[in-house]
Structure 1
């Protein structure tokens, strides 16, 4: 009799354990579930400063992205030093042209504003503002935001304002950006929203390193980056250990707390990870870190994240390669954007 009671007790515990395992497994399965998009829409970031760094004619590169690659979904950036090279003196040459051409070809634009925008050194401050105390610099940023948003808010090509870029990713940015001033970030978001209440605000965070919660919470939409290949002096090149379903699980988990919002893969890296300027690195090294095979692998990886809108990163480098007589990556881009 005692033996039967003991057996029944262990049976109950086993049943409870199996039930808990089943619940955890079901929850884990649910976290990784996301509808497979019927079609992935591809876009491209374009960065005027990077085109210039590569020694290219930025206008030629931009036109080629629109007219040759056929890109119709863009992320453009109003880098503060480019827009206001001298205090109170504004330069609209690049952005006016880019927005006019986007409208001309019926492309839509995610328009990024703020001090921290895509490309190294993360925070872009004009020389005249670099030595200002932070409180004074904030005053200048408010004015820069006001002027930029007021100038472009009537352009129908803009679908989102992106405020700052990966503001919560501090690991790469502390030397140039200092600690995140979250209160000011929220103020920037509200300022842009007040200047143009007709468009939603996009806030972004790193896919590999970001926690997502704060960025997701503060925006009307959320964008994340996906990097598959990395390089650093100690480890050399290495591939991400994160499987594509990690992004689906992370997004579903965040949605439990902050609800459903539009989400994008806003930065899919398709260029070599370098610590020196591209033009000072030999082609062999560049191709070791990023080549057509890796780009195809990255595109396939990103498909499995199941984001239905994905913005690639690296067209300026593709065009630079093309100018060196290496067309294969540019030609792959043509295929991708014309499908």
Structure 2
């Protein structure tokens, strides 16, 4: 019995070491051609007290961005039941078309930016089933309105819908599958991206649901322990970790993985526009930005979308700190 236990323990230890070596040792192949884009949220620009149209045009014209992941909010579009406001989104898509930019449109209830889930006030008292029916009704309005746009190249169903984060009424994989199928029925011509946490998920659920897996890369952030206590740090994850996970997804599901959120703004103990710039720069500054770009290039991925372009513009316009904006401009110019 003792010998058997020793053998089992040895096999377990060797297996753990093998898994650790697979995910944490080695290097990913370097990609010669990379695609760089940005995430954009009108509501985020407004939260920073920016002129959101000026910000958006600067992204297209000054930065020269040709790939945008557009975040919209259900509570903004359908603030009143069955009363849809699309004027601002119409303008954003029209400008993307006029500037020859490609767009990923994020649609659903959980579409990013705090509180992550953007449930209209009028829908808060509905049952889960009623809320899900209303989500699909909203999705139908969006997809049928914009599916003929030459700018939109893919839909993203929700934002990290299986990752428990934010203020959300529910997380439901079966509904996600239903939502993806529904989008496909409305627009069978475009792929559907489903995203998940890059650091805290194996992406299996996202790969089962979507045509493309989207992942995040966050390098320097606040780790919350308990109320009033935490620390700034980084995930102890080498670039090859992402490459090896993506390789498994490719082999098992035949799905590609792209980075839909590459950290390029602060992640502090509260929303960064509620803290001083000095505190913001503990997790994002020009040095950290460049380090994150270098890290991303070593993951073996081909496509990245920066998370934080509204903040860059805020730095440049209101803080006289254009360094990150200018560095990003060089990246877009050279790719």
Residue aligning to 2:262: 268
Residue aligning to 2:246: 251
SS at the partner of 2:262?
strand
1:142 and 2:136 correspond: yes
Cα deviation for residue 158 of structure 1 reads 0.8
Residue aligning to 2:181: 190
With structure 1 as the length reference, what TM-score do the two structures score? 0.88
Cα deviation for residue 297 of structure 1 reads 0.6
Selected match of 2:278 from 262, 281, 284: 284
Q: Which has the larger radius of gyration?
A: 1
1:312 and 2:312 correspond: no
Asked if the contact 1:32–1:249 (Cα under 8 Å) also holds between the matched residues in 2, the reply is no
Asked if the contact 1:114–1:141 (Cα under 8 Å) also holds between the matched residues in 2, the reply is yes
Asked if the contact 1:227–1:269 (Cα under 8 Å) also holds between the matched residues in 2, the reply is yes
Give CA deviations for 1:6-53 in whole Å, capped at 9, x if unaligned.
Answer: xxxxxxxxxxx9xx99xx69x949x96754211211000001111111
Cα–Cα, structure 1 residues 147 and 179, in superposed 2: closer, same or farther, change >3 Å?
closer
Cα–Cα, structure 1 residues 254 and 33, in superposed 2: closer, same or farther, change >3 Å?
farther
Residue aligning to 1:331: 326
With structure 2 as the length reference, what TM-score do the two structures score? 0.89
| Structure 2: segments with no counterpart, 5+ residues | 1-10
1:239 and 2:239 correspond: no
Cα deviation for residue 277 of structure 1 reads 3.6
Asked if the contact 1:161–1:199 (Cα under 8 Å) also holds between the matched residues in 2, the reply is yes
Cα deviation for residue 330 of structure 1 reads 1.0
Asked if the contact 2:103–2:152 (Cα under 8 Å) also holds between the matched residues in 1, the reply is yes
- Give, in whole Å, the separation in 1 of the partners of 2:46 and 2:134: 25
Cα–Cα, structure 1 residues 153 and 283, in superposed 2: closer, same or farther, change >3 Å?
same
SS at the partner of 2:62?
helix
1:219 and 2:210 correspond: yes
- Give, in whole Å, the separation in 1 of the partners of 2:134 and 2:163: 23
1:68 and 2:62 correspond: yes
Residue aligning to 1:59: 53
Residue aligning to 2:76: 82
Selected match of 2:201 from 197, 205, 210: 210
- Give, in whole Å, the separation in 1 of the partners of 2:177 and 2:183: 10
Moved more, 188-197 or 87-96: 87-96
- Give, in whole Å, the separation in 2 of the partners of 1:154 and 1:78: 18
Asked if the contact 1:32–1:252 (Cα under 8 Å) also holds between the matched residues in 2, the reply is no
Residue aligning to 1:159: 153
Moved more, 275-284 or 185-194: 275-284
Asked if the contact 2:45–2:52 (Cα under 8 Å) also holds between the matched residues in 1, the reply is yes
- Give, in whole Å, the separation in 1 of the partners of 2:242 and 2:34: 16
Residue aligning to 2:3: none
| Structure 1: segments with no counterpart, 5+ residues | 1-16
Cα deviation for residue 94 of structure 1 reads 1.6
